[in-house]
């Protein structure tokens, strides 16, 4: 990964941060549950998907991005503007 100095972890100061993709993972998990577990999946799958989706929408509205530190596994949020700059630096 290219060294970037735009976003540092607020906990340990490391610059080894990346976009937190937990919401996308939850959506994929929900889809799998939905398809492969009858009854429970048909109930839990859409609820999980909806929760993740609305969380994602709320984050987008506020213009914030969830980030995760690779060093201390701290999860934090940054402004959308900062995230765009971050993306530019890591290519």
Which positions lie near Zn ion, rule CB under 5 A? 9, 11-12, 14, 69, 71-72, 74
Closest CB to Zn ion among residues 44, 64: 64
Task: Please report how close the Cβ of residue 39 comes to Zn ion at its closest, in angstroms.
Answer: 41
- The DSSP secondary-structure symbol of 56 reads H
Do the strands 75-79 and 64-69 form a parallel or antiparallel pair, or are they unpaired? antiparallel
| C-alpha span between 29 and 45 (Å, rounded) | 8
- What tokens does 76 get? 């934090």
Choice between 14 and 89, CB closer to Zn ion: 14
Minimum gap (Å) between residue 7 Cβ and Zn ion: 11
């Amino acid at each position: 990964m290219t060294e970037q100095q735009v976003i540092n972890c607020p906990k340990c100061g490391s610059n080894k941060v990346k976009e937190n993709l937990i919401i996308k993972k939850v959506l994929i998990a929900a889809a799998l549950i939905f398809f492969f577990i009858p009854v429970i999946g048909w109930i839990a799958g859409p609820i999980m998907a909806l929760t993740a989706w609305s969380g994602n929408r709320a984050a987008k509205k506020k213009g914030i991005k969830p980030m995760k530190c690779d060093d201390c596994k701290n999860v934090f949020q940054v402004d959308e503007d900062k995230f765009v700059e971050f993306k530019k630096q890591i290519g």
